[in-house]
Structure 1
Amino acid sequence: MTPFARVLRVLRAFVRALGIALLVPVLLFEEWGWEPLAALMARLARLPFWARLENHLRQLPPWGALLAFFVPVMLLLPVKVLALFLFSRGHAATALTVLVLAKLVGTAIVARIFQLVERPLMRIPWFARWYPRWKAWKDRVLTIVRQSRPWRMVRALKGRIARGWRRFKEG
């Protein structure tokens, strides 16, 4: 192997590791929030308007479903730009609050929409091919993270805090 090829290989490994390191917090947040936030959004279906909207989403053709899936992502982009603007003006706490709220709302909406349009999305050939690969890769990364020592330590600490809180409430 040539020195250039070796450097390229090391660089590729570094970029891959960096990419995974940057994605892990996002994956963990979405993994934590996806189901509960989607369930929270599903409660809105009790409202007649929302029930009709969800029914329309379920009946979308594949490309309409794809558009419906990405619209909330695009609509939240200006909110994230606003957060960056606030941060640049020295309003770090406000910017962080805006970002966290945007992430929570965005994840809730996207998770629910995905539940409603997954079937039509799977009729798009490239989506049907890549989504299972993405899911398998994400599951592997999350398995590695969950097996890591820091993750286990945080989980153990969380358990101790929960047990202590229960004892405190019981008196």
Structure 2
Amino acid sequence: MTQPKRSRARLLAPLLYLAALTLLLEEWLWDTGKRLGAIIAAWPLVRGLDARIRALPPYAALCAFVLPAILLFPLKLLALLAIANGHMVTGVLTIVLAKIGGAAAVTRLYALTLPSLLTLAWFARWHGVFMAFKDRWVGALKATLAYRRTSRSVLGLRGAFAAWRQRAKSGRHSPRPARFLRRFAAMWRARRR
């Protein structure tokens, strides 16, 4: 590899790791949203609402699909305002809960409104273009070493957290929580080799 390519790769490496982490977070949010949406969809009141949403005409379905983003935007602004005023935990928790709630609403509404939305020629065309673009870029990102390393680290962290939670439930948790952090640090150092 030539010197300019090597230095460009070093400069872009943090961005690749950030993109990989963001992709993993978005996939987790999408999966969590699906599970949450399925649980909520089992409620009798929501089942009737689902049927009404499925029966919406195309432009009404488009409005229903966009509604969560419009409703959650002011909430996210308030969370940023809370962070700016020194209420870091409240702001971050609000953003995380809004993200999970928004993901649940969007995944459910996407599944319910997609057949109706695809009857709009312009939506069907742009949906196909966007999905092809997304699949190409996500495939390219998943092929990188940064994604594989980040994915391995997240899986290791998830496994360590699950083991810690299991030990805590059984009453055998570590008297020193620093052990968990040391194991994570050792795993992080080992991935650099």
| TM-score, normalising length: structure 2 | 0.67
Q: Which residue of 2 aligns with 1:39?
A: 35
Residues 154 and 137 of structure 1, relative CA distance in 2, 3 Å threshold: same
Amino acid at match of 1:41: G
Q: Quick one: distance in 2 between partners of 1:79 and 1:104? A: 13
Cα offset, 1:154, TM superposition? 2.2
Whether 2:80 is the aligned partner of 1:84: answer yes
| Corresponding residue to 1:107 among 99, 103, 110 | 103
Percent identical among aligned pairs is 34
Deviation readout 1:141-169 (Å, 9 max, x if unpaired): 11122112121112233455538967xx7
Amino acid at match of 1:138: K
Aligned length: 151
Cα offset, 1:129, TM superposition? 0.6
Deviation readout 1:33-85 (Å, 9 max, x if unpaired): 22442232122222211100111011111001001001111110110110111
Q: Quick one: distance in 1 between partners of 2:142 and 2:107? A: 22
Residues 163 and 120 of structure 1, relative CA distance in 2, 3 Å threshold: same
Consecutive unaligned residues of structure 2, counting only runs of 5 or more, are 1-11, 168-193
Amino acid at match of 2:45: F
> What is the correspondence of 1:146-157 to structure 2 with a 5 Å cutoff?
146-157=142-153
Greater fraction helix? 1
| Corresponding residue to 2:46 among 43, 50, 55 | 50
Residues 145 and 102 of structure 1, relative CA distance in 2, 3 Å threshold: same
Amino acid at match of 1:53: L
- Bigger mean CA offset, 88-97 vs 103-112: 88-97
Q: Is the 8 A contact 2:53 2:61 kept in 1?
A: yes
> What is the correspondence of 1:113-152 to structure 2 with a 5 Å cutoff?
113-152=109-148
Residues 94 and 48 of structure 1, relative CA distance in 2, 3 Å threshold: same
3-state SS of the aligned residue for 1:90?
A: coil
Q: Quick one: distance in 1 between partners of 2:122 and 2:23? A: 22
Q: Which residue of 1 aligns with 2:5?
A: none
Amino acid at match of 1:64: A
What RMSD in Å do the two structures reach over aligned CA positions?
2.9
| TM-score, normalising length: structure 1 | 0.75
